[in-house]
């Protein structure tokens, strides 16, 4: 494809994405469906260019006015993800000169907002939590995330799958914390691999794997994944249960649960029962009250821990939308807690990095439910033989009470989890 044509395609995709009417990944997928002639290399350039623009939006918005031509084209040039010579081949002399001027700007000469590229409402809560760690976080959020796989422990051993991937010229490293994880650089076509089609691997961030590990569901138990979504954690939990007992996968979206069905078929699990519920007080929930051994509440959240993968979320969320989520998270956790029998374990988790969706929710729940005792996440992960478990945790009464994962420290998405046992 000629550089000029590809730059124009990038500009059009940027225009569609920046309306923020739909998630960026959905806009990109639709664009690819509508333009079936694009090869894998062109698709990669288009997607990464859009994500670059979303990551550095404030900086590029600041630089774009000094150029000429349609704004989306200027943004496409600034964010272009591909060989420099190729890009220059599609530019006018005027655009080349402008790009050179933009490139000569030193980061130290920029205003702070053009360096961190975060909305103002998000900056202070992160600085308050991280102090000097704020800028390392910013740096990590400006990179794209690696691809993590979970090896299906019901069927396979991690070392065997790693060798199998190596034969297919896919290099992987064992994840440092999750016993099931493999980390891959780049984006190989996994769906064509036998390991994928036979259910030996699933794509799942290491942090997400650790949430399933923390639930520590045992053979023969009654377990609920309360906000199952497309079921990544459900499948990991089912494998720890060795496909015994009963594992309910609840979600308010039947559409999301539909995405679980093909994954479930590949996984070899026979103990999973997906069920769409109307809301957190659904009749199905009431019928199971007091009967469940373990409940995972991976609550709907701002998703701000996933900004390496979903940089549009920082522009699509707001302080107001987070406030609305907090009310929902509180109600969902309260309802889910009713399911547990005495001695049962409750895990509340988000992929957010905001304390109001995390520690604040956990503290309110603990205060309102004296019949639940908080457990130390660091201690639980140590018992599960997770390397350096306490470095993954913070806060709480014991100092390591909560699981708290950060992209710049742990190379996972940002995750939070709090764990309680219902008193006998």
Please give the positions annotated as active site. Answer: 351
Q: 33: how many CB neighbours lie within 10 A of its CB?
A: 8
Q: Which two tokens stand for residue 125?
A: 């809560």
User: Rounded to whole angstroms, how far apart are CA atoms 198 and 216?
Assistant: 25
Q: 222: how many CB neighbours lie within 10 A of its CB?
A: 18
Residue positions counted in the chain:
424
Rg of the chain over all Cα atoms, to the nearest angstrom: 23
Q: Which of 405, 419, 416 shows the shortest CA–CA distance to 148?
A: 405
The residues pairing with 223 across neighbouring beta strands, listed in sequence order, are 247, 294
Is the distance from CB of 56 to CB of 142 less than 8 angstroms? Answer: yes
User: Rounded to whole angstroms, how far apart are CA atoms 190 and 150?
Assistant: 13
Which residues are within 8 A (CB) of 103 and not within 5 positions of it... i.e. 6 or more apart?
none
Identify the helix (H) or strand (E) that includes residue 389: none
Q: Which residue has the tokens 């569609």?
A: 16
User: Rounded to whole angstroms, how far apart are CA atoms 308 and 297?
Assistant: 23
Q: Which residue has the tokens 């399911």?
A: 339
Q: Which two tokens stand for residue 303?
A: 């998703």
Q: How far is CA 187 from the centre of its chain?
A: 16
User: Rounded to whole angstroms, how far apart are CA atoms 172 and 285?
Assistant: 41
Is the distance from CB of 77 to CB of 7 less than 8 angstroms? Answer: yes
Which residues are within 8 A (CB) of 130 and not within 5 positions of it... i.e. 6 or more apart?
137, 406
343 Ramachandran zone, left/alpha/beta (phi>0; psi -120 to 50)? left
DSSP state of 403: E
């Amino acid at each position: 494809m000629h550089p000029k044509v590809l730059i124009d395609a990038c500009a059009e995709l940027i225009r569609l994405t920046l309306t923020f009417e739909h998630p960026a990944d959905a806009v990109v997928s639709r664009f690819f469906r509508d333009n079936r002639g694009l090869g894998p290399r062109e698709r990669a350039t288009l997607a990464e260019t859009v994500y670059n623009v979303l990551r550095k939006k404030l900086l590029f918005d600041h630089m774009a006015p000094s150029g000429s031509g349609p704004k989306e084209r200027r943004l496409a040039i600034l964010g272009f993800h591909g060989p420099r010579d190729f890009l220059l081949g599609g530019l006018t002399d005027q655009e080349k000169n402008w790009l050179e001027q933009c490139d000569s700007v030193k980061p130290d000469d920029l205003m702070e907002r053009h360096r961190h590229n975060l909305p103002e409402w998000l900056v202070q809560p992160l600085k308050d939590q991280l102090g000097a760690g704020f800028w390392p976080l910013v740096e990590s959020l400006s990179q794209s995330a690696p691809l993590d796989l979970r090896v299906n422990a019901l069927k396979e051993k991690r070392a065997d799958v790693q060798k199998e991937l190596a034969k297919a010229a896919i290099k992987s490293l064992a994840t440092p914390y999750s016993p099931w994880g493999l980390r891959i650089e780049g984006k190989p076509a996994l769906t064509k691999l036998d390991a994928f089609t036979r259910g030996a691997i699933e794509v799942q961030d290491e942090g997400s794997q650790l949430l399933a590990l923390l639930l520590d569901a045992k053979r023969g138990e009654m377990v609920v994944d309360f906000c199952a979504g497309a079921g990544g954690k459900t499948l990991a939990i089912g494998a720890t249960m060795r496909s015994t007992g009963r594992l309910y996968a609840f979600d308010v979206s039947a559409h999301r649960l539909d995405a679980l069905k093909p994954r479930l078929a590949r996984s070899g699990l026979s103990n999973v029962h997906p069920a769409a519920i109307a809301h957190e007080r659904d009749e199905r929930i009431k019928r199971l009250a007091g009967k469940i051994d373990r409940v995972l509440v991976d609550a709907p959240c701002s998703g701000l821990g996933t900004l390496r993968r979903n940089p549009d979320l920082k522009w699509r969320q707001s302080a107001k939308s987070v406030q609305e989520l907090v009310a929902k998270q509180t109600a969902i956790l309260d309802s889910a807690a009713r399911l547990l029998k005495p001695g049962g374990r409750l895990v509340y988790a988000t992929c957010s990095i905001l304390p109001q969706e995390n520690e604040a929710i956990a503290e309110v729940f603990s205060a309102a439910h004296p019949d639940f005792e908080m457990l130390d996440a660091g201690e639980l992960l140590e018992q599960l033989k997770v390397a350096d478990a306490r470095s993954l945790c913070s806060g709480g009464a014991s100092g390591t009470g909560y699981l708290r994962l950060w992209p710049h420290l742990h190379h996972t998405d940002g995750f939070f989890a709090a764990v309680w046992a219902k008193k006998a």
